[in-house]
Amino acid sequence: MKYDCAIVGGGPAGLNAALVLGRARRSVALFDSNQPRNRVTHASHGFITRDGVKPAEFRRIAYEELLRYPSVQHRQSEVIEIHSADHCFELTTASDERVQARKLILSAGLKEIFPDIEGIHDFYGTSLFNCPFCDGWELRDQPLAVISDHPAVFHKLKLLLNWSRDIIACTNGNQSLLNDAQRHELISRGIQVVDTPIAALSGTDGILERVHFTDGTEIMRSGGFIDPVQLPYASFQETLGYETSDNGGIVADAMGKTSVAGLFAAGDMAYVMPSQLIYAAASGSKAAMSVMAELTEEDWQSM
């Protein structure tokens, strides 16, 4: 059987794309390896009607709704290889299953690479987060540490003042991260900058308590934000030849169409930032509508 569309990735983008296509009576193979990036977090925020939902509960509800449509098939397997030929995509899974589809949506999301700091994984998703819009409310008015060597940290620090006025910026040894003018602006607004590398984080039951530096000093903090390096969870650029952006995302237009005929991208894999459920779900919906437009035109021409 050749599917109308294969979707690689079962995050909010892939799930919403499958929902739109399923309701349009199109045959869909949704590949989901069940490794969502937000699985470590206590709750997801900013999605109307689902604010505060646990990631596992979000997926349960999504599949309950999605699998009402008989044309959608959920395949819990990892796609390891994709080739295209003769207006068709062939996908191969880790279990050597092969599936063909007329169209393809890549929505496998991102993976995060963290700095080598002892204890960091004990707090990420509980009291240490990435996105202020997603978790700033939960850390409001608390003493925060912002651990980052990302060039956009100056903007993040300004943004975080909306949630807390007790912020310490930790550059983890990257003294060139902030210029003199930026440092002056931060200090004048009560934001301390620490350039000493971080040795470890400590706390209890996922709640951050101390940031320990390599010179033996430490600061008391109850939460914070970090900027892990974000890379596409899976790459098929070598065989599909799509265009990528400087940050590693797949270049696509506003409706998810890429530089490769029949190939679409949605969610974090396409735009990398901002990384929010509602943003990803919307991009999945748009990509599905773009797929539908192409399928409809092709079927019309073949009648």
Q: H or E element: which one contains 210?
A: strand 207-213
What CA–CA distance (Å, rounded) separates 215 from 192? 17
* Mean of all residue pLDDT scores within the chain: 93
Local structure of residue 197 (DSSP, 8 states): P
Share of the chain above pLDDT 70, in %: 97
What CA–CA distance (Å, rounded) separates 268 from 277? 9
Contacts of 44 (CB under 8 A, 6+ apart): 38, 50, 52, 53, 54, 55, 58, 134, 277
242 in the Ramachandran plot: left (φ > 0), alpha (ψ -120 to 50) or beta? beta
What is the pTM (predicted TM-score) of this model?
A: 0.92
What CA–CA distance (Å, rounded) separates 137 from 260? 41
Q: What is the pLDDT of residue 115?
A: 94
**Strand pairing class (88-93; 263-265):** unpaired
**Is the backbone peptide bond immediately before 274 cis, with ω within 30 degrees of 0?**
yes
Q: How confident is the model at residue 33 (pLDDT cuts 50, 70, 90)?
A: confident
Give the count of alpha carbons within 13 A of 215, CB side only. Answer: 8
pLDDT of 301 strictly over 90:
yes
**Average pLDDT over every residue of 128-150:** 95
CB of 38 within 8 A of CB of 124? no
- Where is pLDDT greater, at 181 or 52? 181
pLDDT of 27 strictly over 70:
yes
Q: What is the pLDDT of residue 46?
A: 87
Q: What is the pLDDT of residue 1?
A: 81
**Average pLDDT over every residue of 178-194:** 97
Indicate the range of 30-34, 112-116, 273-277 predicted with least confidence. Answer: 273-277
pLDDT of 37 strictly over 70:
no
Q: How confident is the model at residue 274 (pLDDT cuts 50, 70, 90)?
A: low
Among 60, 83, 63, CA closest to 22:
63
| 214-242 pLDDT per residue, tens | 999 999 999 999 999 888 888 899 999 99
Among 33, 36, 41, 37, CA closest to 8:
33
Q: Quickly count: other Cβ atoms within 10 Å of residue 16's Cβ.
A: 27
